[in-house]
Amino acid sequence: MKHILSVLVENRPGVLSRVTGLISRRGFNIESLSVGPTEDATMSRVTAIVMADDVAFEQITKQLHKLISVHKITDLTDEGAIERELALFKVSAPPERRSEVIEIANIFRAKIVDVGRATLTVEATGDDAKLTGLEDLFRAYGIKEIVRTGKIALSRSSHD
């Protein structure tokens, strides 16, 4: 099962290495990894997507809790969390087909961020299904390069 793990850690050198090392040493693959600062400059949030059964996932979280630099662990898997990913696509777009690529980007609420003589670079954010759908459509035009960030996630606010 795919688990979304949000780990609040101290923003210090070596912490990311210890967290990812702990997971990989136990034979689990990190499918996606994203790290960034939080509202507190002394802390960072690690968002990791890990494939593991429930028992193994519980073992991972118990081991992470033992790390001094880990302050909070949240399993966002079943919380209906807000998940997003960023992708950049460099798509072949000769002048005679450029408007088609722009139209596809607009339908997906993506942005053109760079224009070359024969390419367009498109920025898109969304869930995995949206980005995969966009990628599938751009393949018909020829994708020169793709880069995707790791998934980021936050739990939804409770509405009182």
Domain-embedded: residue 160: no
Instruction: Please indicate, yes or no, whether residues 49 and 93 belong to a single structural domain of this protein.
Output: no
Domain-embedded: residue 147: yes
pLDDT digits over 54-68, tens only? 888 888 899 899 988
Instruction: Please indicate, yes or no, whether residues 67 and 126 belong to a single structural domain of this protein.
Output: no
Instruction: State the residue range of the domain holding 35.
Output: 2-78
Kindly report the CATH number assigned to the domain that includes residue 58.
Answer: 3.30.70.260
Domain-embedded: residue 72: yes
Instruction: Please indicate, yes or no, whether residues 72 and 124 belong to a single structural domain of this protein.
Output: no
Instruction: Please indicate, yes or no, whether residues 8 and 74 belong to a single structural domain of this protein.
Output: yes
pLDDT tier, 2 (very low <50, low <70, confident <90, very high otherwise): confident
Share of the chain above pLDDT 70, in %: 98
Domain-embedded: residue 61: yes
- Contacts of residue 128, Cβ cutoff 8 Å, sequence gap at least 6: 85, 151
pLDDT reported for residue 78:
77
pLDDT reported for residue 129:
92
Q: How many domains does the chain have?
A: 2
Instruction: Please indicate, yes or no, whether residues 117 and 136 belong to a single structural domain of this protein.
Output: yes
pLDDT reported for residue 159:
45
User: Is 113's pLDDT higher than 80?
Assistant: yes
Instruction: Please indicate, yes or no, whether residues 68 and 88 belong to a single structural domain of this protein.
Output: no
The lowest-confidence range among 19-23, 26-30, 68-72, 109-113 is: 26-30
Q: Tally the C-alpha atoms within 13 A of residue 106's C-alpha that lie toward its C-beta.
A: 6
Over residues 120-139, mean pLDDT: 96
Q: Which uninterrupted H or E stretch holds 75?
A: strand 70-75
pLDDT digits over 33-49, tens only? 999 999 998 999 999 99
Instruction: Please indicate, yes or no, whether residues 87 and 151 belong to a single structural domain of this protein.
Output: yes
Beta bridge partners of 42: none
Q: Tell me whether residue 44 is exposed, middle or buried, using C-beta atoms within 10 angstroms of its C-beta: 0 to 12, 13 to 18, 19 or more.
A: buried
pLDDT reported for residue 160:
41
pLDDT tier, 135 (very low <50, low <70, confident <90, very high otherwise): very high
Is the pTM here over 0.85, yes or no?
no
Which of 78, 100, 122 is the endpoint of a domain? 78
Instruction: Please indicate, yes or no, whether residues 102 and 72 belong to a single structural domain of this protein.
Output: no
Instruction: Please indicate, yes or no, whether residues 67 and 104 belong to a single structural domain of this protein.
Output: no
pLDDT reported for residue 158:
67
Instruction: Please indicate, yes or no, whether residues 142 and 93 belong to a single structural domain of this protein.
Output: yes
Average pLDDT, the chain: 91
Kindly report the CATH number assigned to the domain that includes residue 123.
Answer: 3.30.70.1150
